[in-house]
Amino acid sequence: MTKKLFVKTFGCQMNVYDSARMADIMRTLGYEQTDTPDAADMIIFNTCHIREKASEKIFSELGVFKPLKEARRKEGRDLILVVAGCVVQAESDEFMKRAKFVDIALGPQTYHRLPEMLAKLERKKAKRLIDVEFPAVSKFDSLPETRSNGVSSFLAIQEGCDRFCSYCVVPYTRGAEYSRPLADIVAEARVLAETGTKDLMLLGQNVNAWHGEDENGKESDLSRLVAAVAEIDGIERIRYVTSYPSDFTDDMIAMHRDIPKVMPYLHLPIQSGSDVILKKMNRRYTTADYERVVEKLRAARPDIALSSDFITGFPEETDEDFRQTLDLVRRVTFAQSYSFKYSPRPGTPAAAMKNQIPESVKGERLEELQALLLEQHAAFNMRMLNRETDVLLEADGHRAGTLIGHTPYMQNVVVRAPQSEKGKTVRVKITKTAATTLEGDIVS
Ligand code: 5AD
Ligand code: SF4
């Protein structure tokens, strides 16, 4: 009999990928995914620790499942609660102490051991289990084969990070940087293509520093990997995220010009427009370095659009530093951006810096920055009006007779189209633009 698995994912794309891989593992044990927790036999919470009081949120959300679990037990069945991800890694002791009804807790590097842990529970060898190790053997070597869950898929090509930006918890929760070998990635991409993936997002915390082994055991680089993935039939669109500004090589810039499958859209977080703050953040580039990379990218691919991440109110950020961020945004212009108030992460160097900025100031700066970024985002969408663009149709629209898809710039487009077009790339003329969604009609 098939059992049911409900997965709830918080945080970044890497977590979305990890959740999909946990579902792959559980599928081999006879679990099928469901999108409601009600009938689930197992619930996995995949948590994020990057900002704010993530653990508090998780505890309160998890609390909902406690009565459900107790009710199940009375019926003589069980509901297995698994908590995975970075919150567990960062706060393992605290976590197990507080969430007594959690059966299994796993860090991001140990979820391939889920079957073993489950077996131990079932054999009543343990009441509750936690595994937050960083095993020497990569989890990637023991994951079962994956398959597409739609036309867009994520593929992790790298894990962890060695950059140690002074605000960031990732090097502590996900561990040291590890680049998967080229052949393994290409093999996984092939399976994804064969099972329906057309838009492939290559994932890594510092993805343009990927340096996995090639078939001869020599270090490779992202431009070679992307070229290899671009050879795969069925893959129409290639993206990669997240890039580190100073790790771009000329070959990587050239691939935006030379490989049509590489989308003209790049997420390139700058974090701040002040060189003083960048230094304190331990970001190893200046604003001039960043703008030079952007200039080269735009020369190679004039229609490229950028997105970025920003942090406001990093310790010691002055009004003048913040002005410089606004100035940089005006100079570079972004199609889309993510911006956050600085959030001290326990154990990171920035959390111990003296001049922490008051919440109110962080908030005011964030508001001012977001207004500017939104203006640029809206202007970018407006420019699409009456233009033709390729749209990969991915899902049903809310209105009957419509499908929703994405442009090369990841904009959502509602297209009047029959079901038979789902999964296809069509040429669309944009007839309406709004802040977050576009509308359009297929042109023959
Ligand atoms: N506070 C605020 N934002 C953060 N980010 C990472 N760590 C923090 C933090 N401590 C942001 C960065 C990063 C994005 C994924 O999250 O902008 O690029
Ligand atoms: Fe965190 Fe910096 Fe690594 Fe990105 S590059 S994951 S911000 S330490």
Q: What is the pLDDT of residues 289-327, one digit of tens each?
A: 999 999 999 999 999 999 999 999 999 999 999 999 999
Distance 94 CA to ligand 2 centre (A): 25
φ/ψ of 214, rounded to 5, equals -90, -170
Q: What is the pLDDT of residues 330-344, one digit of tens each?
A: 999 999 999 999 999
Please report, rounded to a whole number, the percentage of residues in the chain having pLDDT higher than 90. Answer: 75
pTM of the model: 0.94
Instruction: Give nearest CA residue, ligand 2 atom 2.
Output: 165
Ligand nearest to the CA of 281: 2
Distance 169 CA to ligand 1 centre (A): 9
CATH architecture for segment(s) 3-131: 3-Layer(aba) Sandwich (3.40)
pLDDT at 297: 98
Counting every residue, how long is the chain?
444
Residue 369 has pLDDT above 90, yes or no: yes
Ligand nearest to the CA of 282: 2
Ligand 1 in contact with 69 (CB < 6 A)?
A: no
Quickly count: other Cβ atoms within 10 Å of residue 268's Cβ: 21
pLDDT at 335: 97
Q: What band does 128 get if pLDDT is binned at 50, 70 and 90?
A: confident
CA pair distance 278, 284, nearest whole angstrom: 7
pLDDT at 60: 84
Instruction: Give nearest CA residue, ligand 2 atom 4.
Output: 205
Distance 59 CA to ligand 1 centre (A): 22
For 45-62, what is the mean pLDDT? 84
Distance 304 CA to ligand 2 centre (A): 24
For 17-21, what is the mean pLDDT? 94
Distance 200 CA to ligand 2 centre (A): 22
Distance 342 CA to ligand 1 centre (A): 7
pLDDT at 156: 95
Q: What is the pLDDT of residues 54-102, one digit of tens each?
A: 777 888 888 888 888 888 888 888 899 999 999 888 888 877 788 788 8
Ligand 2 in contact with 244 (CB < 6 A)?
A: yes
- What residues does CATH 3.80.30.20 cover in the chain? 139-382
Atom of ligand 2 nearest to the CA of 162: 3
Ligand 2 in contact with 163 (CB < 6 A)?
A: yes
- What residues does CATH 3.40.50.12160 cover in the chain? 3-131
313: left (phi over 0), alpha (psi -120 to 50) or beta: left
Out of 41-45, 63-67, 192-196, 241-245, which region has the weakest mean confidence (pLDDT)?
63-67
pLDDT at 328: 98
Q: What is the pLDDT of residues 198-247, one digit of tens each?
A: 999 999 999 999 999 999 999 999 999 999 999 999 999 999 999 999 99
- What residues does CATH 2.40.50.140 cover in the chain? 388-442
Average pLDDT, the chain: 93
Ligand 2 in contact with 174 (CB < 6 A)?
A: no
Contact 13, 201 (CB under 8 A): yes
pLDDT at 138: 79
pLDDT at 165: 97
Ligand 1 in contact with 168 (CB < 6 A)?
A: yes
Ligand nearest to the CA of 50: 1
CATH architecture for segment(s) 139-382: Alpha-Beta Horseshoe (3.80)
Residue 46 has pLDDT above 80, yes or no: yes
Tokens of 148: 């597409």
Distance 409 CA to ligand 1 centre (A): 23
Residue 125 has pLDDT above 80, yes or no: no
CATH of 388-442, one of 2.60.40.1240, 2.40.50.140, 1.10.3480.10, 3.40.50.300: 2.40.50.140
Instruction: Give nearest CA residue, ligand 1 atom 17.
Output: 309
For 94-122, what is the mean pLDDT? 87
pLDDT at 8: 94
Ligand 2 in contact with 170 (CB < 6 A)?
A: yes
